[in-house]
Structure 1
Amino acid sequence: MTETLSVIIFLSTLFILLGIGVWVGAALLTTAIVGMFLFTSAPIGDSMAVTIWGEQSSWTLTALPLFIWMGEILFRTKLSETLFKGLAPFLRKLPGGLLHVNVGASAVFAAISGSSAATVATVGKMSIPELRARDYPEKMIIGTLSGAGTLGLLIPPSISMIIFGVTVNESISKLFMAAMLPGLGLAIFFMIYIMGWSFLNRGTFKPKIDIIDTETLAKRIGDLLPVLILIGGVIGSIYSGIATATEAAALGVVGAILLSMIQRSFTIDGFLESIMGSVRTTAMIMLILMGAGFLSLAMGFTGIPRALAETIGAWELSPLMLILILTIFYIILGCFLDGLSSIVLTMAVIEPLVRAAGFDMLWFGVYLMIVVEMAQITPPIGFNLFVLQGMTGKDMAFISKASFPMFLVMCVFIVFLVLFPQMATWLPEVLSK
């Protein structure tokens, strides 16, 4: 009875605070303080100090602000223009034409940024006006960009993957390895959908086609080469074991600065803006981590995680049924919380269940990133939807409908990942030998 009352009070406090617009991190901290005050006799101040210090003092977390800074630097360069023009000649002949550039450019930028919203904003800045000028359907422009932008959460270096690794004490390097093939696989699934849509609409889909001469093609490939070298340097240094995730992030920052200089887009003002942008984003994430860590401690004092784990364990669910329930749970949760908050808020309860069911945590991390990606394109709290609304001027209903097919593609890919878990576990096993 006490545990039921605890759950009601915790959830009511949290959702009331979120509903009135309190920052997510502050709402989590306040909820934890209320719970500690009502249900425990432990010293609140001491418990908060110890927990927050423990959450923030992980060396692994130092990679986080560096990867964010790298993305901020590149966001202020000519990267979106370089990606679009460099990839267009290779992808325009596929069924669906330049719509594939949304997917390809998002995959490339995801391998630099690690942020879903930044991926959508950067790629969309160039692709939306270019595709509109060539008479591509607005619904497909927005839909493909919305779905492909979520690759920023999956393809390494992923900010959310770093948070997951720190939360469940798993190797960030191995998580990055596990996510690479599924990330590319999901991009291919998006492209298959575009080709299928193009085939079904071949009678009405007639965009304008560019003619590119050999000299222009060579220049565009040359512009794209430094970006690919930066990606190869960052990811390759991790996979080869030469550098840790933190060291690779530092390498990425230096590479991003050099790339901006090569593109002649480096300015002191832009550099300072990139620093402040990374500080703001890192502070937001750290506040959420602080709040989630303290809330997990408060819930632990009340016995909620243990009771919930025992309740679900008593259901004797098969591993597949557990994954199905978790998928539905995270999709519903994603309608109200952003992906990062969903991860840190639920891991205290979900991790023991997943380990007890025998799932590989590297595989589960990849699965979780894909499910959380869905939260980025599900209303009413879908960050990618808000970014696209600001960029296109379309209403939320139109953007949500345009994004729904990509949501279904991700659902299909989760089934594929469940049937073939080796997609996530093979690369870490091979490279760890």
Structure 2
Amino acid sequence: MDPVTAALAVLFLLLALLTTGMWVFLAIATSAALALYGIMDFSPDRIGAIASRILVRSASSWELAAVPMFIWMGEIMFRTDISDRLFRGLAPLVRRIPGGLLHTNVFGSALFAAVSGSSAATTATVGKITTNELFGRGYSESLALGSLAGAGSLGLLIPPSIVLIIYGVLAEVSISALFLAGVLPGLMIAGLYGLYIALRCSISPSLSPKVTPDPETDRPLEIIKNLAPVLGLIVVVLGSIYTGWATPSEAAAVGVLAALSFGALTRQLSRDLLVKSIGGALRTSCMVCAILACAAFLSSAIGFMHIPRDIALAIERLDMSPYVLIACLALFYIVLGFFLDGISIIVMSLPITLPVVMQAGFDPIWFGVFLVVMIELGLMTPPVGFNLFVIQSISGRSIGKVAVYATPFFLLMVFAAFLLVVFPDIALWLPETLSGRSQ
């Protein structure tokens, strides 16, 4: 069987299993086992030996220890008043910008993303605070929900990002360099969103009513006090990584300790908060780690079939332009985003696409950032746009309506992806400058 046919057979088998409602990790493992049995004619005993060895090795990866820690930190932040303080601290800073409090969705998501590492946590936490405030003050529903859908996805790109950790583990590249590479693209996307909101509201002032200043919360000391918890967590987590004091996995534990300390100092830490935060983190972490372990099995199965090598050689023979290749991959990932979540997309496709893009001369650090941007686009597209479901549950609006509201921000992110391709230094400048990486 030729490599393209084999790759499509595995992909269609996986999609078919997913449509039955099978758990994602089980569908991935089943696809890998059936591919080895049906295409490679491996015996069940040999498949079992391969699976057990790979699953144990993958589940024991030290780098994955960061995933449950970052998820737990996000759960603690969600259950304390850190997010409320974030809104109160940002509100005085954005009142004079065209669009007013609409910018709290963008800037709040960018700041919260810098400590949560999760898009769903960012969207849910910021959305629960801002939507009621914005609706109650008469702001445009389309801009309020659309900007939340777009900005909430920054949780995947701005470090520390769980998805970047997963990419780093699977692609075997520096997670610290990936974190650095995500900073400028994340800020660029946030800037594009803020500029769009300001332009829309300058043209149509009725979209953002004037906000009366609040002398109580507008005082500089009050602003600093409200923003201090989030800024402190950012400094603790990222500072411990880039000073060399902690690895990304250790920094996640430091972040959890800092979040718990804040809860204790503000008398919000309780047995109920601990139980609920640990329970939420445990459920999400088990799902993510099970998917990753089974994805490693699928990667090995694809390797046994020589699919990455053969496809890379086939593309090399086609003499396809690198930009045409990236355009085709972008379309491929956007389509996958219609049906799958980001983690599943990465673990399913990376064994095939990473060798191809490296063969075409692209930097794996740059490709990691580009891939995350593609996944962020999927978060804003039905039927499996996770951000859309989160916003639907918060606002009570239909998925279709939320998707329409998110369309301008989807297009802005497409433009950001284009800029990233044309100017790769947007992602590579920081890691090359601060980490001393060579291309």
1:200 to 1:8, Cα distance in 2 relative to 1, 3 A: same
Report the residue type matching 1:303 in the other structure.
H
1:219 to 1:264, Cα distance in 2 relative to 1, 3 A: farther
CA offsets, 1:307-363, max 9 Å, x none?
322332222112211111111110011111111111111111111111111111111
For 2:422 and 2:240, the matched residues in 1 are separated by 31
TM-fit CA distance, 1:408? 0.4
Question: Which residue matches 2:31?
Answer: 31
Report the residue type matching 2:366 in the other structure.
W
Q: Does the Cα contact within 8 Å between 2:4 and 2:311 map onto a contact in 1?
A: no
For 1:220 and 1:88, the matched residues in 2 are separated by 9
1:8 to 1:151, Cα distance in 2 relative to 1, 3 A: closer
What SS class does the counterpart of residue 207 from structure 2 fall into? Answer: coil
CA offsets, 1:53-95, max 9 Å, x none?
2222221111111111111111111122111111010012111
For 1:215 and 1:159, the matched residues in 2 are separated by 34
Q: 2:428 aligns with which of 425, 428, 433?
A: 425
Does structure 1 residue 129 correspond to structure 2 residue 132?
yes
Question: Which residue matches 2:328?
Answer: 325
1:37 to 1:88, Cα distance in 2 relative to 1, 3 A: same
Mapping 1:268-279, distance limit 5 Å? 268-279=271-282
Does structure 1 residue 281 correspond to structure 2 residue 284?
yes
After superposing the two structures, state which structure 1 stretch, 319-328 or 213-222, moved more: 213-222
Q: Does the Cα contact within 8 Å between 2:308 and 2:355 map onto a contact in 1?
A: no
Mapping 1:115-194, distance limit 5 Å? 115-194=118-197
Question: Which residue matches 1:51?
Answer: 54
Aligned length: 432
TM-score, scaled to structure 2:
0.95
For 2:87 and 2:208, the matched residues in 1 are separated by 20
For 1:247 and 1:193, the matched residues in 2 are separated by 38
For 1:45 and 1:185, the matched residues in 2 are separated by 47
TM-fit CA distance, 1:216? 5.2
Question: Which residue matches 1:213?
Answer: 215
Question: Which residue matches 2:405?
Answer: 402
TM-fit CA distance, 1:188? 0.7
Report the residue type matching 2:145 in the other structure.
I
What SS class does the counterpart of residue 98 from structure 1 fall into? Answer: helix
TM-fit CA distance, 1:208? 4.4
For 1:225 and 1:68, the matched residues in 2 are separated by 21
TM-fit CA distance, 1:211? 1.7
Question: Which residue matches 1:267?
Answer: 270
For 1:361 and 1:5, the matched residues in 2 are separated by 26
Report the residue type matching 1:17 in the other structure.
L
Unaligned runs of 5+ in 2: none
CA offsets, 1:113-159, max 9 Å, x none?
10001100000111000000110111111100000000000000000
TM-fit CA distance, 1:227? 1.9
For 1:206 and 1:428, the matched residues in 2 are separated by 39
Question: Which residue matches 2:302?
Answer: 299
After superposing the two structures, state which structure 1 stretch, 97-106 or 1-10, moved more: 1-10
What SS class does the counterpart of residue 144 from structure 1 fall into? Answer: helix
Does structure 1 residue 234 correspond to structure 2 residue 237?
yes
For 2:217 and 2:11, the matched residues in 1 are separated by 61
After superposing the two structures, state which structure 1 stretch, 46-55 or 163-172, moved more: 46-55
Query: What CA RMSD, in Å, does the superposition of the two structures yield over aligned residues?
Result: 1.6
After superposing the two structures, state which structure 1 stretch, 260-269 or 341-350, moved more: 260-269
For 1:279 and 1:313, the matched residues in 2 are separated by 44
Question: Which residue matches 1:19?
Answer: 19
1:226 to 1:104, Cα distance in 2 relative to 1, 3 A: same
For 2:369 and 2:159, the matched residues in 1 are separated by 11
For 1:230 and 1:94, the matched residues in 2 are separated by 27
For 1:7 and 1:257, the matched residues in 2 are separated by 46
TM-fit CA distance, 1:2? 5.8
CA offsets, 1:161-188, max 9 Å, x none?
0000000101111111111121111111
TM-fit CA distance, 1:304? 2.8
Question: Which residue matches 1:112?
Answer: 115
Identity of aligned residues (%): 46
For 2:353 and 2:292, the matched residues in 1 are separated by 16
For 1:288 and 1:48, the matched residues in 2 are separated by 14
For 1:7 and 1:354, the matched residues in 2 are separated by 16
Q: Does the Cα contact within 8 Å between 1:77 and 1:263 map onto a contact in 2?
A: no
Q: Does the Cα contact within 8 Å between 1:239 and 1:431 map onto a contact in 2?
A: no
Mapping 1:342-357, distance limit 5 Å? 342-357=345-360
For 1:102 and 1:361, the matched residues in 2 are separated by 31
1:166 to 1:268, Cα distance in 2 relative to 1, 3 A: same
1:144 to 1:311, Cα distance in 2 relative to 1, 3 A: same
What SS class does the counterpart of residue 100 from structure 2 fall into? Answer: coil
